[in-house]
Amino acid sequence: MTTSDLLRQRAQALGMYGLLANWGEFAAAPWLSQLLEAEEAERARRSLERRIRNAKTGRFKPMADFDWAWPESIDRQLVEELFTFSFLDEPANVVLVGPNGVGKSMIAKNLAHQALLRGTTVLFTTASAMLNDLAGQDSAAGLQRRLRRYCRPQLLVLDEVGYLSYNNRHADLLFEVVTRRYEERPILLTTNKVFRDWGETFPNAACVVTLIDRLVHRSEILTIKGESYRLKEAQERAEAKVRRRRKRDA
């Protein structure tokens, strides 16, 4: 394949039909390759901006700020392996389990952001926001549209499963999302409850056992143990204020 053929393929991929219609005139132009590179770079930039905007990850601390010494127990090797994104290629779900404040959401948001940089489409949402959104649809057509919103992205990040209790309707809707994405598009989920306690989150829901079974089939499960890092930071801030007052009043 000649250089001209390769350039023409790139122009076709970019949909530059005016250029293609006059290819004989421009094929040998010395600036053609630079033009295509500039167009490709600009489209990549706009695509990334759009995907970041649609992902709705919000603000978060980078993994460089993660205090690995703070948790009582965390599999750092598994965390680093997750950032290779082999779970996207498999695909496999990822479940981060641990009490409040140990860094589950921080890890999840960093994974979501790095996935975006790799070209993956991502949607980040809390479990309560998604389930209330789906339950609030007043027509079958409206529900199907909203289900597509949560099933379309290549990676769905569900944060804070287990912090609230839900009725059977919410459990059925989560089951529907998990089933539609099952073995095709992974879910990254954070929860403060081990699976045996999910009955407290979805009391009397008949689908819980099957829901868990489909989540954990081909999954990576990271369990983090420890006290809340946010509580530690709050205590340190309070102690720093006391020291400043004492120094000022001395």
Instruction: Check whether 140 has a pLDDT greater than 90.
Output: yes
Q: What is the pLDDT of residue 95?
A: 97
Long-range CB pairs of 32-39 (<8 Å, 24+ gap) are 32/7, 33/7, 36/7, 36/10, 36/11, 39/14
Question: What single DSSP character describes residue 225?
Answer: B
Question: What CATH number labels 63-230?
Answer: 3.40.50.300
Residue 168 scores a pLDDT above 80:
yes
What are the pLDDT digits (tens) for 59-115?
A: 888 999 999 998 999 999 999 999 999 999 999 999 999 999 899 999 999 999 999
Per-residue pLDDT band at 2 (split at 50, 70, 90):
confident
Beta-bridge partners for 73? 225
Q: What is the pLDDT of residues 169-217, one digit of tens each?
A: 999 999 999 999 998 999 999 999 999 999 889 888 889 999 999 999 9
Closest to 151 (Cα-Cα) out of 118, 173, 128, 119? 173
Grouping H, G, I as helix, E, B as strand and the rest as coil, residue 249 is helix
Q: How far apart, in whole angstroms, are the C-alpha atoms of residue 13 and residue 5?
A: 12
Q: What is the pLDDT of residue 25?
A: 82
**Mode of pairing for the β-strands spanning 187-191 and 219-223:** unpaired
Cα-to-chain-centroid distance, residue 142: 24
Look at residue 229 and tell me whether its pLDDT is greater than 90: no
pLDDT tens digits along 19-65: 888 888 878 888 888 888 888 777 877 877 777 777 777 888 899 99
Q: What is the pLDDT of residue 102?
A: 92
| Contact of 188 with 94, CB cutoff 8 Å | yes
The per-residue pLDDT for 242 is 67
For residue 27, the number of C-alpha atoms closer than 13 Å in the C-beta half-sphere is 13
State the pLDDT at residue 18: 85
For the sheet containing 219-223, what is the strand order?
122-126, 155-161, 187-191, 93-97, 219-223
The Cα–Cα gap between 79 and 188 comes to: 13
Identify which of 203, 209, 149 has the alpha carbon closest to the alpha carbon of residue 181.
Answer: 149
Q: Classify burial at 59, counting beta carbons within 10 Å of its beta carbon; exposed 0-12, middle 13-18, buried 19 or more.
A: exposed
Contact at 8 Å (CB) between 109 and 57?
A: yes
| β-bridge mates for residue 122, sequence order | 155
For the CA atoms of the chain, what is the radius of gyration? 24
Write down the pLDDT at residue 231: 72
Write down the pLDDT at residue 239. Answer: 67
